[in-house]
């Protein structure tokens, strides 16, 4: 049925459970305007994401502007063509692959630390026997990981500024590529524990940055649902962190 002027709806912010009531003032394929008189609303800022909930569906949107009673929103498509994007900073490395020979799928591996742990307790608050047990368990886990070959390929690249979503990524590379080329892209997401992701995608735009290399935009292909969900969750978490820091600065 879609959204219509006059509809009563509820909405909530991404990552939060509290819902607020509102009324649709206007809605089309690109924009939604909400009327709300809820005094309990948290501070609103351009760029925040929210979910509008009505009787038959839910809709993703991003705040363009807002005041005490009117929220102007940019409507986000929910047909897997658009996902939440976030500016970030982490290691990325990419290489061209032959389209005809490309039969690999995206993959994801959780990175476990394999650094040796000092058997001496870090301070007096930890019992020596307990610490020795933890060290032994860590060593056994590392041996199991070695046998299962779970250690991911190392992403040997310096961190760089990127713009990433579950559908694609923009980053800088030194190898010259052309629009339409297929790339293998390796990313190391700075989570806890860290996650190594290998994805494949098609170059949709290239910008010559001179001595800095090339600004490349890649659209992912053959994305596994588990990896897509992980990237969606990652970008949403990063968006919340950025908004929280902005609020703290304000």
pLDDT value for 207:
93
For the cut 50, the answer to whether the pLDDT of residue 209 exceeds it is: yes
Region 2-12: mean pLDDT is 88
Can you tell me the distance from the alpha carbon of 29 to that of 111, in angstroms, rounded to the nearest whole number?
41
Q: Of 46, 55, 52, 105, give the one whose Cα is nearest residue 78.
A: 52
For the cut 90, the answer to whether the pLDDT of residue 80 exceeds it is: no
Region 223-228: mean pLDDT is 77
Region 179-206: mean pLDDT is 87
pLDDT band, very low/low/confident/very high, at 248 (cuts 50, 70, 90)? confident
Judge contact between 152 and 195, C-beta under 8 A. no
pLDDT value for 140:
62
pLDDT band, very low/low/confident/very high, at 152 (cuts 50, 70, 90)? very low
What is the pTM assigned to this prediction? 0.54
State the CATH architecture for 86-111+153-249.
Beta Barrel (2.40)
Query: pLDDT of 159-170, one tens digit each?
Result: 999 999 888 899
Residue 221 CB-half CA count within 13 A? 15
Can you tell me the distance from the alpha carbon of 20 to that of 5, in angstroms, rounded to the nearest whole number?
18
For the cut 50, the answer to whether the pLDDT of residue 173 exceeds it is: yes
pLDDT value for 238:
84
For the cut 60, the answer to whether the pLDDT of residue 146 exceeds it is: no
Region 197-210: mean pLDDT is 90
Structural tokens at position 157? 């690249």
pLDDT value for 56:
66
pLDDT value for 115:
46
Find all residues with CB under 8 Å of 17, minimum gap 6, and list them: none
Q: 8-76 belongs to which CATH class?
A: mainly beta
User: Is 225 or 89 the better-scoring residue by pLDDT?
Assistant: 89
Region 184-196: mean pLDDT is 84
Query: pLDDT of 8-57, one tens digit each?
Result: 999 988 657 788 999 999 998 889 999 997 677 888 888 887 888 887 67
User: Is 141 or 57 the better-scoring residue by pLDDT?
Assistant: 57
Can you tell me the distance from the alpha carbon of 34 to that of 213, in angstroms, rounded to the nearest whole number?
44
Q: Where in the chain is the domain with CATH 2.40.10.220?
A: 8-76, 86-111+153-249
For the cut 80, the answer to whether the pLDDT of residue 123 exceeds it is: no
pLDDT value for 176:
92
pLDDT value for 177:
93
For the cut 50, the answer to whether the pLDDT of residue 149 exceeds it is: no
pLDDT band, very low/low/confident/very high, at 113 (cuts 50, 70, 90)? very low
């Amino acid at each position: 049925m879609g959204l219509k002027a006059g509809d009563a709806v509820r909405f909530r912010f991404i990552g939060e459970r509290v819902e607020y009531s509102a009324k649709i003032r206007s809605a089309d394929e690109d924009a939604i305007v909400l009327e709300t008189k809820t005094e309990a609303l948290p501070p609103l800022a351009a760029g925040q994401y929210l979910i509008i909930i009505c009787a038959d569906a839910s809709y993703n949107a991003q705040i363009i502007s807002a005041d005490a009673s009117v929220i102007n929103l940019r409507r986000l498509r929910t047909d897997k063509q658009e996902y939440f994007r976030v500016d970030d900073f982490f290691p990325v490395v990419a290489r061209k692959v032959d389209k005809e020979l490309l039969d690999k799928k995206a993959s994801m591996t959780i990175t476990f630390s394999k650094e040796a742990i000092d058997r001496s307790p870090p301070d007096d608050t930890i019992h020596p026997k307990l610490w020795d047990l933890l060290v032994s368990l860590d060593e056994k886990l590392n041996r199991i990981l070695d046998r299962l070959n779970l250690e991911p390929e190392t992403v040997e690249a310096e961190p760089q500024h990127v713009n990433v979503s579950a559908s694609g990524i923009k980053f800088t590379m030194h190898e010259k590529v052309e629009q339409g080329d297929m790339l293998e892209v390796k990313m190391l997401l700075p989570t806890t524990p860290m996650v190594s992701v290998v994805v494949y995608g098609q170059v949709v735009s290239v910008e010559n940055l001179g001595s800095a290399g090339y600004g490349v935009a890649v659209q992912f292909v053959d994305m596994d649902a588990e990896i897509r969900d992980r990237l969606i969750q990652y970008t949403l978490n990063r968006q919340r962190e950025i908004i929280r820091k902005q609020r703290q600065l304000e």
